[in-house]
Amino acid sequence: MPAPHDPAHCPGCATPDLAFAAHDHAHCAADALQRAEAITAANGARLTPVRRRVLEILLEDHRALGAYDVLARLAADGYGNQPPIAYRALEFLVEQGLAHRIQRLNAFTACAHPGEAHAPAFLICRVCQSVAEATATSARSALDAEAAQLGFTIERSTIEALGLCPACQDQP
């Protein structure tokens, strides 16, 4: 089993704003794949070659990809071109906490904190479609408190914020 993830040794994973900056995140992707193997094994599941390849595709860039984009990449890699191939793999990754579905974009992105309980918020650039996963713990706590006053229990929530990344803000 791999060593626990240490964000202090992986600043790209701990700093959401790096998603909007040019950086080499090969170490973070390799770490995420290693952690994915451990997480799925601990859950009694298996990261099959197709599932692993889909996660690799999601980890390549800080953009959310639609299922058909993933399917095209899988087909190019020789995994077939039937939509259920991509959808099943993406669904598995979401169920295992290794990826998130971005509703606004009808797309998927790799989880920045796999294996950790967290309340994600997605910062989506409306120009370049870059996506950063930020922590929304305080927002989730406030939402839970408001829901509790109404007698409602939140089981899952996702915050998606649309705006401009630093690079797109700097463009004329």
Distance CA 30, CA 33 (A): 5
CATH 1.10.10.10 is right for the domain spanning 7-169: yes
Which pLDDT does position 107 carry in this prediction? 95
Token pair for 123: 């910062």
φ, ψ of residue 169 to 5 degrees: the values are: -70, -30
Q: What is the pLDDT along the chain (172 residues), one digit of tens a residue?
A: 333 334 333 434 444 445 665 555 677 788 889 999 999 999 999 999 999 999 999 998 778 999 999 999 999 999 988 999 999 999 999 999 999 999 989 999 999 888 888 888 999 999 988 899 988 889 999 999 999 999 999 988 889 999 999 989 988 7
Which pLDDT does position 15 carry in this prediction? 46
What pairing do the DSSP bridges indicate for beta strands 107-110 and 99-102? antiparallel
Q: Is the pTM of this model over 0.85?
A: no
Beta strand residue intervals within the chain, DSSP E: 99-102, 107-110, 120-125, 131-135, 159-163
Which pLDDT does position 125 carry in this prediction? 92
Going from N- to C-terminal start, the domains of the chain cover 7-169
On whether the CB atoms of residues 160 and 93 are closer than 8 A, the answer is no
On whether the CB atoms of residues 39 and 115 are closer than 8 A, the answer is yes
